[in-house]
Amino acid sequence: MSNSNTSQPDVIREFERIDASVVADASKFAASILADVAGRRGTLCSRVAPLAPSMRIAGPALTVEVRPGDNLMIHAAMAIAKPGDVLVIDGKGDETAALMGEIMVSQCKAIGLAGIVIYGSVRDTEALVEMGFPVYAVGANPNGPTKNIPGRINWPIAVGGVTVNPGDLIVGDADGVVVIEREKAASLLGAAAQKVADENKRLEGIRGGGQLRPGWLDDALRKAGVLKEGETL
């Protein structure tokens, strides 16, 4: 059986990005809201965290696969990236060497990228936090990388337990990163807005003292067999 991917080059320069207007609208929501309306899926593992809680990311994924400890393909990806892109790098979760530091992140900021998500390590973290450019990583290590092992750009990758395709929506905040399929993102915005409204209403009820437990609790307990039919807490 022939492999349909054999004709694809290791570096795919062009791909379909999520619409900029969808990115702008999605950036108004917390990652948790988007994850909930997406079926409570698509969130990267908690090892992938922002260098500072104030960092926020929203944009289309430009995917990069590297061998552990080698950043050659990240440099290649930066050379073809467009303003607004989010570099999403599958560094295999390796923490033995930093894949990026102040110089490369400064270049990404100058290009106009929206942020960086690395399933691997970084360095120069004090400078990166001071720079304020959004960087999410699994850790820090002062050891530098090599630059001589091939990889792939704009292929599907696995990062923090989630499959990421080129052009997917990436949204990150203090809680972490959520990945939403490009084709689904626009359809979830209405549900996200409704969830925010519902949660705000619930919070108002709690703060006002009139809704100190969720209205669905008894029904859920009955369905789970904890309460008998007609029984309440």
Which parts are annotated binding residues for substrate?
101-104, 123
Contacts of 7 (CB under 8 A, 6+ apart): none
> Are 88 and 157 in contact, with CB atoms under 8 Å apart?
yes
DSSP state of 221: H
Which among 11, 113, 18 has a CA at the least distance from the CA of 64? 11
Element (H, E) at 21: helix 20-26
Per the structure block, which two tokens stand in for 86?
Answer: 């989010």
Distance between CA atoms of residues 231 and 222, nearest Å:
8
**Which segments are annotated as binding site?**
101-104, 123-124
> Are 57 and 134 in contact, with CB atoms under 8 Å apart?
yes
Contacts of 132 (CB under 8 A, 6+ apart): 52, 54, 55
Distance between CA atoms of residues 221 and 218, nearest Å:
5
Helix extents (H) in 72-231: 72-80, 102-111, 125-131, 182-207, 217-223
**Which segments are annotated as binding site for Mg(2+)?**
124
